[in-house]
A and B are shown apart, each in its own frame.
Chain A
Amino acid sequence: MYIPKKHEPVRIGFYICHCGVNIASMVDVKEVAKYVGTLPNVVVSRDYKYMCSDPGQEMIQQDIIENRLNRVVVAACSPMLHEQTFRKATEKAGINPFFFQMVNIREHDAWVHTDRLEATRKAMALARAAIQRVPLHKPLEVKKVAVHPNVLIVGGGIAGIHAALVLANAGKRVYLVERDPTIGGHMAKFDKTFPTLDCAMCVLSPKMAAVGSHPNITLWTYSEVAKVDGYVGNYKVVVRRKPRYVLEDLCTGCQECVEACVYKEPKFRDEFNLGLGKRKPIRLPFPQAIPPVTLIDPETCIELKSGKCKKTCLEACGDRKAIDFKQQEELREILVGTIIVATGYQIFDAKRTPYYGYGVYPNVYNALEVERLINASGPTNGELVMRNGQVPKKVAVIHCVGSRDENTNRWCSRVCCLYSLKLAHLIHERTNAEIVNFYIDMRTPGKGMEEFYNRLSEEGMMLVRGKVADVYPDPTDGTTGRLIVQAEDTLMSRILKIPVDMVVLSVGLEPHPDSDKIRRLFNMSCSSEGWFLERHPKLAPVSTFTDGIFLAGCCQGPKDIPDSVAQAGAAAAECFSLIDKGHIEQEPNTAFVVEKECSGCKSCIPLCPYTAISLLEDKKKAYINEALCKGCGTCVASCPSGSIVQNLFEDAEVFSEIEGLLAPVPV
């Protein structure tokens, strides 16, 4: 292996990538290579079809050895994609990886410009900036930081559950934090799931139970993350545990307290059943809830409101002593190395599309309510009876409610066509009702989904292609609340007015209203719609821009259960890969103080957000603790005597880049 000597003159190799035609069609790569070849210190300058391919990397390595290169510049895609690839390639050939610099001429040039000459000139300027910069580069070493093996998972829907089990089964300690009193998420509300039409709880409840009893999982329901500090490998997290007024360790889940409550009949809005049923102040959210621990609602419990109840629940609980009216909110602090965010979605509020009459006409339901109505453990024990006590004979299912619409949400929610078909099938199965589906486009991508659609459409449901414009009461109907659905059938070019007993709105999926707060908590980014942003849509679909924090399920965007589970497995594997390696390599772009130049003015000290800077009292000089410095460079820019240096972003390096960018180019 060739190892360059210390004070050898700078010898740069420059490589420009065609990226197939992605770059080459807008940038004259040959011309750029020719120009760069004329610049000082450049020994070789080449263009190649795919620099990131093995032959591309081998070409660099061979040149390093044969031409004794000690600096490498590659002009290709964004450094976010391949900076690491090329650093590794140069390192393998024996030179320090930080003697490499990447120039972004794809995302920042070829893809965003339309004038080939201007794009070529820009590529030349950007390349020159790097060529002027690299001679100043110093050899740097990557720091290793240990990764704490424990994992935090936020959100206990199917995605969070699956990720927790994968990690716990591999022997990792998992903290699963769920905001609701039970895990299960949306899936726990469904009767059956597309495309297999298997019972949702039959698949889900064994997984929920496994989470509840797993020795490696600490399950904190009715809890929220309050604070996150630290960085990949070492996150300090504070979790707020709301009081249930029932002690988890002591409650056996017998529900005798519920039976004994002074309210003989359930009287209050049952959140789990979306208000379609009633509950008591003390209750279990649903029969298979995990943990199987009751909780008391302080808003409706007489004792908690006024202290004047007979407390028959307490009596019924007896020696188990599980009920504790004095329970307080608790803060728990944990240390984890990696975090998976799996907070899911909320359904679109159909009141925002008033023309469908949701919340006005009692026979208009959203799809999730219908899931509960046909669920055997739902408020009607699986019988589809409407609010007026009747079983519908004709039902309209309206697709794309709140989706693919400039006025509400622009995206396709991906699952609504399929669950609409599922619900149409299930409603028909339960009631023998005639079903009309109104769709804009029938979207059934995914394995087995088109077959599912074909199978169900042959069952004889009516499918109308057209957007529903209005839902209003049938003027000829007296008391039953029958409705008219008015739509344009765009295939037949005619206006339809169909009387129905029940309307089902296939509401879309949207981000939680507090997604901005959650995003800040974990230092993630959001797309403009509010879905959490993955690091790269194809190459890093479950990573975020913050190392050690991963995404799974619908919080990243609408998707079905199979995809949520697949993502959860991927996120678990990402955590696993960090934990098993045991350490992470940190960019050496930290700052240090050049002592002899520091005047001891202390102006840098309060600027550092990580309190990495302190004053060496004996010398009266500032000192940066490298382990704490994250490399933002804020202190560097503020030091009046210019005595702080940031590795990889030294003043001289940036100045040389500026000069290179503005130098005249030959074309």
Chain B
Amino acid sequence: MNATPKPTNGSWSPSLVAFFCNWCTYTAADLAGVSRMKYAPNIRTIRLMCSGRVDPQFILDAFSKGADGVLIGGCHPNDCHYAEGNYKCLRRFRLIKRMVADLGIEEQRLRLEWISAAEGEKVKTVVNEMVDQLKALGPLGIPKQFAEWDAEMTRLEHAAQTSQSAESEVAHA
């Protein structure tokens, strides 16, 4: 299990994992670059062909490996390069949003945005906004939680084993 990135100068800074569709949001991020817009460096982007490819497991996996937030970027409604992948994404997003809430993860840590290839500016504002929100929320720390659960599990297993062996000893007797 990986830990959250080490703080640079003692202070914690959030990790934001993004899944951007190739045709709109990834291109918009390219445009933001070409236009030399400046935004928070916390974002790490994974390029997918379409937001419809975003598997709920990717989101959970990112959180479990230490992301403090996950951002999905796709084309605006009606603009998906593959007709309607973004609708499928939206449908799935609504479900996963509920699931994530049930896990006790704050709502603001997961966001879906429609950003067209021309909206470099929107990449900047959305990323900055989200990073600010994540900073306010503080670390999610799922890897740490997992480590604790793991330790707990080993303890339980151990306890179970000892009691089992004790039982079998009793049976033998």
User: Closest CB-CB distance, A527 to chain B, in whole Å?
Assistant: 5
A628 interface hit (Cβ, 8 Å): no
Closest chain A residue, CB of each to CB of B65: A662
Q: Is the CB of A634 within 8 A of B53?
A: yes
Instruction: Decide if A129 touches B44 in the complex (CB within 8 Å).
Output: yes
A104→B39 CA distance, assembly (Å):
16
The residue from A114, A533, A545 contacting B81, defined by CB atoms under 8 A apart = A545
Complex interface: stretch among B99-107, B113-121, B145-153, B158-166: B113-121
Interchain CB contact (< 8 A) of B46 among A112, A119, A631, A654? A654
CA distance A118 to B39 in the complex (A): 12
- B138 at the A interface (CB under 8 A): no
B88 is an interface residue with CB less than 8 A from chain A: yes
Known: A634-B85, A637-B52, A658-B65. Is A107-B34 also a contact (CB below 8 A)? yes
B71 within 8 Å of A by Cβ? no
- Decide if A2 is an interface residue (CB 8 Å cutoff): no
- A268 proximity list for chain B (CB < 8 A): none
Q: Judging by beta carbons under 8 Å apart, are B33 and A651 in contact?
A: no
B4 touches A662 (CB 8 A): yes
B134 at the interface (CB under 8 A from A): no
Contact yes or no, A662 B47, CB < 8 A: no
A633 touches B49 (CB 8 A): yes
- In whole Å, how far is A27's beta carbon from the nearest beta carbon of chain B? 11
A655-B61 in contact (CB<8A): yes
Q: Is the CB of A227 closer than 8 A to any CB of chain B?
A: no
Do A637 and B118 have beta carbons less than 8 Å apart?
no
Q: Does A284 contact B (CB under 8 A)?
A: no
- A662-B66 contact given A115-B41, A525-B116, CB 8 Å threshold: yes
Chain B min CB distance to A648 (Å): 8
Q: What is the distance, in angstroms, from A128's C-beta to the closest C-beta of chain B?
A: 10
Q: Size band of the B side of the interface?
A: 35 or more
CA distance A246 to B15 in the complex (A): 67
Is A607 interfacial (CB 8 A cutoff)?
A: yes
**B137 contacts the other chain (Cβ, under 8 Å)?**
no
Q: Once the chains are docked, how many angstroms separate the CA of A23 from the CA of B62?
A: 27
Task: Give the residues in chain A near B85, CB-CB below 8 Å.
Answer: 609, 632-634
A122 near B46 (CB under 8 angstroms)? no
Shortest beta-carbon distance from B39 to chain A in Å? 6
Q: How far is the CB of B132 from chain A (nearest CB, A)?
A: 15
Q: Check if B130 is an interface residue, CB within 8 A of chain A.
A: no
A121 to B84, CA, bound (A): 36
Please state if A662 and B58 are interface contacts (CB–CB under 8 Å). no
A634 touches B2 (CB 8 A): no
Q: How far is the CA of A126 from the CA of B37 in the complex (A)?
A: 20
Report yes or no: B65 in contact with A112, Cβ–Cβ below 8 A: no
Is there contact, CB below 8 Å, between B49 and A118? no
**Docked complex Cα distance between A634 and B24 (Å):** 16
Complex contacts, B44 vs chain A, CB 8 Å: 122, 125-126, 129, 661-662
Partner of B78, one of A107, A129, A520, A589: A520
Assuming the contacts A112-B33, A651-B57, asked whether A129 and B46 have C-beta atoms less than 8 A apart, the reply is: yes
The reply to whether A609 and B65 contact each other, CB–CB distance below 8 Å, is: no
Q: In whole Å, how far is B13's beta carbon from the nearest beta carbon of chain A?
A: 8
Across the interface, which residues of A come within 8 angstroms of B49, CB to CB? 589, 631-633, 646, 649
Structural contact, A637 and B53, CB atoms closer than 8 A = yes
B interface footprint on A118-144 (CB within 8 Å = 1, 0 otherwise): 110110011001000000000000000
Over the window 68-91 of chain B, the binary record of Cβ atoms lying under 8 Å from chain A Cβ atoms (1 yes, 0 no) is 000000000011011111001100
Residue-wise interface mask of A (76-106) relative to B, using a CB-CB cutoff of 8 A (1 in contact, 0 not)? 0011100000000000000000000000101
Which A residues touch B156, using CB under 8 A? none
The reply to whether B6 and A664 form a contact with Cβ atoms under 8 Å apart is: yes
Bound complex: CA A80 to CA B32 (Å): 14
B109 to chain A, nearest CB (A): 14
- B17 to A662, Cβ gap below 8 A? yes
List B contacts of A104 (CB < 8 A): 30, 45, 47
Residue of A119, A545, A636 touching B117 (CB-CB under 8 A): A545
CB pair A632–B58 under 8 Å, yes or no, is: no
On chain A, the residues within 8 Å of B92 by CB distance are 637-638
**Which residue from A80, A111, A126, A609 sits with its C-beta under 8 Å from B82?**
A609
Cβ-defined contact, A659 with B82, below 8 A: no
Query: Least Cβ distance of A19 to chain B in Å?
Result: 12
Task: Provide the residues of chain A in CB contact with B124, threshold 8 Å.
Answer: 112
Least CB distance, B166 to chain A, in whole angstroms: 41
Asked if A632 contacts B46 (CB within 8 A), the reply is no
Expressed in whole angstroms, the Cα–Cα distance for A126 and B58 within the complex equals: 17
CB-contact partner of A657 in B46, B55, B82, B88, under 8 A: B46
B119 and A632 contacting across the interface, CB-CB below 8 Å: no
Decide: B17 and A661 in contact? CB cutoff 8 A: yes
Q: Does A321 contact B (CB under 8 A)?
A: no
Contact check, B52 vs A633: say whether CB atoms are below 8 A apart. Answer: yes
The residue from A108, A114, A523 contacting B29, defined by CB atoms under 8 A apart: A108
A662 partner, pick from B8, B15, B29, beta carbons under 8 A: B15
Assess the A654–B58 pair: CB atoms within 8 A.
Answer: yes
Q: Is A172 an interface residue (CB 8 A)?
A: no
Question: A78, B55: Cβ atoms under 8 Å?
Answer: no
B5 touches A121 (CB 8 A): yes
Q: Give the residue name and chain of the A residue nearest to B33 (CB).
A: A107
B56 — which chain A residues lie within 8 A by C-beta? 637
- Asked if A239 is at the interface of the complex by the 8 Å CB criterion, the answer is no
Does B67 sit within 8 A of A, measured CB to CB?
yes
Closest to B59 in A: A658
Q: Residue of A at shortest CB range from B9?
A: A117
The CA-CA distance from A413 to B93 in the complex, in Å, is: 42
Task: Give the docked Cα–Cα distance between A121 and B9 (Å).
Answer: 13
Contacts of A79 in B (CB 8 A): 47
Look across to chain B and name the residue whose beta carbon is closest to the beta carbon of A125.
B44
Is there contact, CB below 8 Å, between A646 and B53?
yes
Q: A250 — which chain B residues lie within 8 A by C-beta?
A: none
| 6 A-B pairs with least C-beta separation | A107-B33, A633-B53, A634-B52, A632-B82, A118-B41, A609-B83
B-to-A contact residues, CB < 8 Å: 2-6, 8, 13, 15, 17, 23-24, 27, 29-30, 32-34, 36-39, 41-42, 44-50, 52-58, 61-62, 65-67, 78-79, 81-85, 88-89, 92, 116-119, 124
Further 9 A-B residue pairs, CB within 8 A, beyond A637-B56, A657-B46 = A112-B37, A525-B117, A609-B85, A632-B82, A634-B50, A637-B54, A651-B55, A654-B58, A664-B6
Can you list 30 A-B contacts with CB-CB less than 8 angstroms, sorted by A residue number?
A: A79-B47, A104-B30, A112-B41, A119-B41, A122-B41, A129-B44, A523-B81, A525-B27, A526-B116, A545-B23, A607-B88, A609-B85, A630-B82, A632-B49, A634-B89, A637-B55, A646-B53, A649-B48, A651-B55, A651-B57, A654-B46, A655-B58, A655-B61, A658-B17, A658-B46, A658-B58, A658-B65, A662-B67, A664-B4, A664-B6
